[in-house]
Chain A
Amino acid sequence: MLIGVLALQGDFGTHAQALREIGIGAVEVRRPEHAGFVNPNAPRYVQDPGRARRSLWADGDEETVERPVPDGLILPGGESSTIDLLGRRYGLDSLLAAYAASGRIVFGTCAGAIWLGKGTHHKVTPLALVDVDVQRNAYGRQIDSFIAPVEVNGLEEPFEAVFIRAPKFTRVGPNVDVLAEHDGDPVLVREGNIWLATFHPERSPDRRLHRLVFG
């Protein structure tokens, strides 16, 4: 199994490490061709014209690289305004919608959840792929960040969830399953193949949530 990790900005490295720890391959995605996004409904491999590599050994022609289409995608935490801006610059916003429609698993954490959900933000235009309203920085500033155990539907023992300048789901649509709550607020939700968490599962040494999502 190979999972793409959107690597525009933020905690993508820790997500990739978490995946590798449970035996799942990870590929960093910065531009559409990094994830074979060119056509997500294509078979397992797509042709990427790549950029010309003018090495001593190349014979002058552009190299064509076969890139695997990842079986799933993680949108990590980071600064949602930065990720939104950089994603749109490379057209990743519309490609993400097509990718999600192909039925592959998409997991958005913190900033990733803000981008995939709905809501009105100062600097972020959400993709509205999940029927939840998200409020950015809903707990306050950094000194209000915290770690708390949450009961997750599908995990036997509580999961130690790390909330950093975290958002809140202020409305959850009728077709969205709430899989975990903290103090009465939903913190992990799922609609079809898209999972959203307001916390950072990659920050805990515990890999059960990555297993649950991609298992």
Chain B
Amino acid sequence: MSRENGHDRKSFEVKVGLADMLRGGVIMDVTNAEQAKIAEDAGAASVMALERVPADIRREGGVARMSRIDVLEEIMRSVEIPVMAKVRIGHFVEAQALEALGVDFIDESEVLTPADEENHIDKHGFRVPFVCGCRNLGEALRRIGEGAAMIRTKGEAGTGNVVEAVRHMRSVVGQMRRIQATDPAELMKTAKELGAPYEQVLYVHEHGKLPVPNFAAGGVATPADAAMMMQLGAESVFVGSGIFKAGADIRDKGERHKLQGALAAAIVRAVTHCNDPDEVLAAQRDQAAAMVGLDVRTMPEEEKLAGRGW
């Protein structure tokens, strides 16, 4: 399939266009229509529709797959903002099904159990845009080479610990700064070392940024976490278990939703005004509770999800 013709160029521009519309916003993990509405009311730019949030996937173990279609449909019916959904790494048929369903964005996600340990999905062939995780620039550029319209850090989902997301964002942004300063004659060597397509390396050299939006994900739990990821170079923030796992011990549903809505709105506030310390302070004050932290340093290597994909 030719990727040079006008149709494919336009198709890619439309995909990156939606990714750009989500900039400066918060994308929230939700598992049902009630949560999706709370997220929309709190100012979420998009929701990630899931059967289980990463914290539960992590706890329950087993094979984690694409969500049940009825769960996705219910969420898609309940909100007007774009709805994203996850597929397993390399599982192009799950992706075909979700494209047929009409989800607005697909996350080829390491949070689910990989279906292919060698290959990611060839994303050029889809009309629906894809977001993929990365730990460093080489990984980001490989995914973009495969057709991803948005990149996010992998971080370590479901932990409430932002340290891995920070590590990955600093790695991507730092490598981009170095490539910008690299002698053009050395860019092919850089491409070889990164294992990244030369054209993408050249783009980074010329523009100092990725050719697609660069978002943060994986362990963002507080307004201050979200604002820090923005200041480190993220253009938007994914918040997973950080919102709807909060207040799990509150029996009264109304009270629990109120707390979750307040937490969601506080994170949106901190992202919008990420460079304004007074606003971030106010957002931290707004935050009624944060999820219980599970420290990533105490986690055995084999439990880490970020090692999935390459």
Chain B associates with chain A: yes
> A-facing mask of B255-277, CB < 8 A → 1, else 0?
00000000000001000110010
Question: Shortest beta-carbon distance, B78 to chain A, in Å?
Answer: 10
Interface centre among A81, A82, A141, A146 (most CB of B within 10 A): A82
Question: Shortest beta-carbon distance, A103 to chain B, in Å?
Answer: 29
B17 touches A141 (CB 8 A): no
Q: How far is the CA of A79 from the CA of B45 in the complex (A)?
A: 6
Q: Which stretch, B97-105, B113-121, B295-303, touches the partner chain A?
A: B97-105
User: Which residue of B10, B25, B102, B273 contacts A82 across the interface (Cβ within 8 Å)?
Assistant: B25
Interface centre among B21, B22, B42, B81 (most CB of A within 10 A): B21
B127 located at the interface, meaning its Cβ lies under 8 Å from any Cβ of chain A in the complex: yes
A9 touches B17 (CB 8 A): no
Interface centre among A8, A11, A51, A142 (most CB of B within 10 A): A142
The B interface is mostly helix, strand or loop, or mixed, namely loop
Q: How far is the CA of A122 from the CA of B272 in the complex (A)?
A: 23
Interface centre among B24, B40, B46 (most CB of A within 10 A): B24
B128 located at the interface, meaning its Cβ lies under 8 Å from any Cβ of chain A in the complex: yes
Considering the complex, which residues of chain B in the window 1-55 have a beta carbon less than 8 Å from any beta carbon of chain A? Answer: 10, 13-14, 17-18, 20-25, 40-46
> B-facing mask of A5-43, CB < 8 A → 1, else 0?
001111111100000000000000011000000000000
A212 located at the interface, meaning its Cβ lies under 8 Å from any Cβ of chain B in the complex: no
B128 touches A143 (CB 8 A): yes
- Residues of B contacting A8 with CB < 8 Å? 24, 272
A78 touches B25 (CB 8 A): yes
A11 touches B23 (CB 8 A): yes
Considering the complex, which residues of chain A in the window 138-164 have a beta carbon less than 8 Å from any beta carbon of chain B? Answer: 140-143, 145-147, 162, 164
Question: Shortest beta-carbon distance, B25 to chain A, in Å?
Answer: 5
A86 located at the interface, meaning its Cβ lies under 8 Å from any Cβ of chain B in the complex: yes
- Residues of A contacting B18 with CB < 8 Å? 142, 145, 164-165
Q: How far is the CA of A13 from the CA of B233 in the complex (A)?
A: 14
A190 located at the interface, meaning its Cβ lies under 8 Å from any Cβ of chain B in the complex: no
List 20 contacting pairs A-B, 8 Å CB cutoff, sorted by A: A9-B24, A9-B25, A9-B45, A10-B23, A11-B23, A51-B278, A78-B22, A81-B40, A82-B43, A82-B268, A86-B43, A110-B21, A123-B41, A142-B18, A143-B99, A143-B104, A145-B14, A147-B14, A164-B18, A165-B104
